[in-house]
């Protein structure tokens, strides 16, 4: 199963507060930042390294640098909230953007904006806080593959079993990192229990 769920007590506490309808925008952003940072650290645990030499004030020793770059692709709009904590940890990461919206009637994804840098050997990390049907994410994975992405990973704060199953079926080599796997989707394709509309809560709209 290409799914890794955070096993961390603090993450569970933060998710509970994120879900709470009484949680206000500033706090919501802060919780989103923390959860994203932990997910990003998990998702980059195995990045390839090259050794280098480091001179400490006392002697030379062996150190490590990353073997290749990282490209972050937030799926607009909600994915934007996950970019600042990632850049805090890795300021040198490239950032592409992908605008995929869900048709409110058919719930099918529609791409309205795409700006992804050329990929050579970078690791590509698509960030979308709510993995619901998996449609937008599949679309994003396809766009990233079209510009050369091979090492692809997904960060989602909350995932639904339906979305995970879709990615597992169509893109079994893409690993999904999530803080929690929720119960199911409702008729409007919102995640239950979920947190409601992530973009609205993040942007305060
Ligand atoms: N997007 C959201 O913001 N919330 C959901 O529950 C599903 C998709």
What is the distance in A from the centroid of ligand 1 to the CA of 44? 25
Residue 100 pLDDT = 87
Dist CA 38 CA 84 (whole Å): 13
Residue 1 pLDDT = 64
Indicate if ligand 1 lies below 6 Å from the C-beta of 194: yes
What is the distance in A from the centroid of ligand 1 to the CA of 106? 15
In a domain? residue 53: no
In a domain? residue 63: no
What is the residue with the minimal CA distance to atom 5 of ligand 1?
A: 190
Residue 181 pLDDT = 98
Indicate if ligand 1 lies below 6 Å from the C-beta of 199: yes
In a domain? residue 13: yes
What is the distance in A from the centroid of ligand 1 to the CA of 142? 21
In a domain? residue 57: no
In a domain? residue 17: yes
In a domain? residue 120: yes
Q: Which domain holds residue 151?
A: 3-44+69-203
Residue 105 pLDDT = 77
In a domain? residue 102: yes
What's the domain count of the chain?
1
The domain that contains 29 carries what CATH number? 3.40.50.2020
Indicate if ligand 1 lies below 6 Å from the C-beta of 190: yes
Indicate if ligand 1 lies below 6 Å from the C-beta of 126: no
State the closest ligand 1 atom to the C-alpha of 197, by its place in the atom list counted from 1.
3
Indicate if ligand 1 lies below 6 Å from the C-beta of 198: yes
Indicate if ligand 1 lies below 6 Å from the C-beta of 162: no
Dist CA 199 CA 100 (whole Å): 13
Residue 104 pLDDT = 73
Please state the pTM of the whole predicted model: 0.95
Residue 101 pLDDT = 80
Residue 107 pLDDT = 67
In a domain? residue 20: yes
Tens digit of each residue's pLDDT, the chain (205 residues)? 689 999 999 999 999 999 999 999 999 999 999 999 999 999 999 999 999 999 999 999 999 999 999 999 999 999 999 999 999 999 999 999 999 887 777 767 888 999 999 999 999 999 999 999 999 999 999 999 999 999 999 999 999 999 999 999 999 999 999 999 999 999 999 999 999 999 999 999 9
Indicate if ligand 1 lies below 6 Å from the C-beta of 86: no
């Amino acid at each position: 199963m290409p799914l890794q769920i955070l096993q961390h007590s603090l993450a569970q506490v933060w998710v509970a507060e994120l879900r709470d309808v009484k949680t206000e925008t500033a706090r919501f952003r802060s919780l989103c930042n923390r959860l994203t940072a932990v997910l990003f650290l998990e998702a980059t645990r195995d990045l390839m390294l090259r050794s280098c030499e480091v001179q400490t004030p006392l002697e030379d020793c062996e150190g490590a640098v990353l073997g290749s770059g990282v490209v972050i692709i937030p799926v607009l709009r909600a994915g934007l909230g996950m970019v600042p904590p990632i850049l805090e940890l890795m300021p040198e990461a490239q950032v592409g953007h992908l605008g995929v919206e869900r048709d409110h009637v058919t719930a099918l994804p529609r791409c309205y904006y795409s700006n992804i840098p050329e990929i050579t050997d970078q690791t590509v990390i698509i960030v979308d806080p709510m993995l619901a049907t998996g449609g937008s994410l599949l679309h994003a994975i396809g766009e990233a593959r079209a510009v050369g992405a091979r090492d692809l990973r997904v960060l989602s704060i909350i995932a639904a079993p339906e979305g995970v199953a879709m990615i597992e079926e169509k893109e079994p080599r893409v690993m999904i990192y999530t803080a929690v796997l929720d119960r199911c989707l409702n008729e409007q394709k919102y995640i239950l229990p979920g947190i409601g509309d992530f973009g609205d809560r993040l942007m305060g709209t």
